[in-house]
Structure 1
């Protein structure tokens, strides 16, 4: 009789386990993405819409950021060998002549460089 009770208990336990829901599959946590931070390098990036959406820094504008706050003659005296363009306030910049290797120096009304981009 003891053997029947043990077998019955075992069958009851197996039947109960078979009715249990399947465990959830493992889901790794989603990576944390911070706007304005490069997920690979962790460095801040410019998220201003516009030409930043076009291409990476193909003209190496980052190498010339020290010229921000300087005037047009200082930029000319820097001896930059790449193609350059000065963009004045209200000046028309045609997208037809876009060149990703050219450095654009955006000037304020006083002729001071306020932004440096490719294009």
Structure 2
């Protein structure tokens, strides 16, 4: 579900906008940037849904939507703005951690270390 929402908001809609306005270089650049963020943002939202659990029940899933961060998934424009913000944070963390040892927090952000339970949980959501 998360991947589908992100595909529509971060790839399908921006690419369609590029088709409508093919000479807008700023639009093309922004579209490419959003497409490149899909995987990182997908992992981010799965981690927000799971909150250190390996799976969630249907009731827990519904409760997740009380969280303002999760509700962003329901608004495509807000989601794109949020993803751009996450992109800036990812870039900053990659620059700041490139000279320092990798911590569990930075490993999650950089997608270099995800526990085994994550893949099972990803299919649950």
Bigger fraction of residues in helix: 2
Bigger fraction of residues in strand: 1
TM-score > 0.5 by shorter chain: no
- Larger radius of gyration between Structure 1 and Structure 2: 1
Q: Give the TM bin, normalised by the shorter chain.
A: under 0.3
| Bigger RCO of structures 1 and 2 (CA < 8 A, at least 6 apart) | 2
User: TM-score when scaled to structure 1?
Assistant: 0.25
User: TM-score when scaled to structure 2?
Assistant: 0.24
